[in-house]
Structure 1
């Protein structure tokens, strides 16, 4: 068939029509993108090439906000403290001293935060490097939730390695009970205990589910011990006048050879060792977590 005029676009066949339709659709998509990027993007793209327009659209793509990384020391991880012996000098009603049952837990005055003075038949104040220690009692079966209303009984030897009510029979210092607050915490003021032969420097403690339950060591939900940090002990025991014999005894013992801490895991030892800051002259302040499976 012969045409009497120049062919129009729609006379060039299907292949040509598809090409034209594709170009029109691409143009519409581009216009739709520009409409979505706002006036600023369109103005920035005016007068530029098609590549420039694409660049403007790309530059407005939102950048995902990175997830903050928890800072060091914010982990709430905890483990259950191991059960340890309450030793020969607990004064919790579970043993005797000089033939008499020794139970400081039923004695008036045991509920206190400053443990340095005797409170029964003497008013002697234990001397040595001051230590203020905060203990946080948590439930390891409830994501380390604080346990409030629990009673914590702690005791330790004096700077010469003697225990009140036993080897220092007339004294009642360095023993006391506190009840955990809403944060599961109790704070005691005491002294850094001395190091006696055969044991790593330590602090004894028992935890009871309530103050009412703290009338006998038999009701404790946990009996355990805290290990003093090595560097702190080395610094303090260098003063042999204040801590006679401690430096020599400490040099002969290690955590691995200690008959209480020696079979514990590294994780258990880490939790049983309080974090302390200070100096022998200014005293020390620190804290430790006590994990209980409830």
Structure 2
């Protein structure tokens, strides 16, 4: 998808384009927002994607959130996502009609639909940003328009996914991991204070120490391309047994 077309689809251009146009110079000269990234690698082998926990903030009523654009009222660096659902029982042919729910935190590490508790003090229980549902096409693909998630204590950057068959039966609950390293997109995004990302990397939990990902992310790692100033694209294959 062309970046201009994607940003139009984002539906929040009046908020994001001013940020892009007036913040071409980074606050930290070591983090050039125009640096292009092409990193990671999604699961290309016919190996079932690892199952993970849906908690602690699963979507409460995903059937009411059938939408491609999940940004809501959040701001941040653009992220468009394309996921392909593959069926291990048919030699990893694309699975048409799979129902795919996703959800993730915002640039401050907060989730919608929850809050006002010790686990998340800021209350977003009456909002549903960064959550959505799509059904896979004949190529097994679903697409979502979002923003690049940040992180919160004890967790690496990640996205939650729940895949159902066309009858609504659960096939897999999993999570998507992001490439890491001293010059990764994760590092550059979290240093982009001019785009509202204020957490930095101090206290960040890397995949190897994450209580979900520490046993390996071979089937959960996504591919990321793009830049801070131009936005990012995420590509990921999810292999299920259907």
- TM-based fold match above 0.5: yes
Does 2:157 match 1:201? yes
Shift of residue 275, structure 1, vs aligned partner: 0.8
Q: Which secondary structure does the structure 1 equivalent of 2:203 belong to?
A: helix
Counterpart of 1:51? none
Shift of residue 274, structure 1, vs aligned partner: 1.2
After TM superposition, the structure 1 = structure 2 runs for residues 175-194 of structure 1, keeping only pairs within 5 Å, are 175-194=131-150
RMSD over aligned CA atoms reads 1.8
CA distance in 2, matches of 1:192, 1:146: 26
Does 2:128 match 1:172? yes
> Structure 1 residue runs of 4+, over 2 Å off?
75-78
Counterpart of 2:210? 258
Shift of residue 169, structure 1, vs aligned partner: 1.7
After superposition, the C-alpha distances for 1:167-222 in whole angstroms (9 at most, x for unaligned) are: 32232110000000000000111111111111010000100102x51xxxxx4210
Shift of residue 246, structure 1, vs aligned partner: 4.0
Q: Which has the higher helix share?
A: 1
Say whether the 8 Å CA contact 2:107–2:197 is kept in structure 1.
Answer: yes
Say whether the 8 Å CA contact 1:132–1:285 is kept in structure 2.
Answer: yes
Distance 1:106 1:136, change over 3 A: closer
Q: Which secondary structure does the structure 1 equivalent of 2:186 belong to?
A: helix
TM superposition score normalised by structure 1: 0.61
Task: Return the index of the structure with the highest Cα Rg.
Answer: 1
Q: Which secondary structure does the structure 2 equivalent of 1:262 belong to?
A: coil
Say whether the 8 Å CA contact 1:138–1:290 is kept in structure 2.
Answer: yes
Counterpart of 1:39? none
Unaligned 5+ residue runs, structure 2?
1-40, 116-123
Distance 1:132 1:257, change over 3 A: same
Higher relative contact order (CA 8 A, sep 6+): 2
Say whether the 8 Å CA contact 2:191–2:198 is kept in structure 1.
Answer: no
Does 2:216 match 1:282? no
